[in-house]
Amino acid sequence: MQRARHQLLAGAALAGDEHRGVRVDDLPERIREHHVSHVLVAGEDPSELVPMEEVERRYIDRVMQAVSGNKTLAAKVLGFDRTTLYNKLKKQR
C-alpha cells in the first residue's frame, strides 16, 4: 500500500498542473492495468458458483499475475511441478 501511495504522489508531482489533477494516464502502467481478480468458491446463490475447472483457471491466472508471470514460482505456489503448470496453461488457451 505504501508503494502505491508513493506512486500516486509521484504521478501527481509529474502531472505538474495543480488545477488539472491526476488522470489515469499519469499513473504507472502497473496501476493503470490492474485488474481485480476474485475466485468465488462459496456463496449463498447457486447461480454464482462455477465449476471446479473454472475455479482452478481463475486461481492459476491470479497466481500468475501475483508472481509477474514467473512460471517456476507459480508452480511452487500452486503445488504443481512446472510441466503440470505448462500443460494447464496450454489447455487454457
Give the domain ranges of the chain: 1-34, 36-93
pLDDT tens for the 93 residues of the chain, in order: 566 666 666 666 665 555 566 677 777 776 666 666 566 566 778 887 888 898 899 899 999 999 999 999 999 999 999 999 999 999 988
Three-class DSSP category at 91 = helix
Alpha-carbon dihedral angle through residues 70, 73, 78, 84, given to the nearest 10 degrees = 70
Fold of domain 36-93: Arc Repressor Mutant, subunit A (1.10.10)
Which residue's entry shows cell 508472481? 67
Its pTM stands at 0.55
| Cell numbers linked to 53 | 475447472
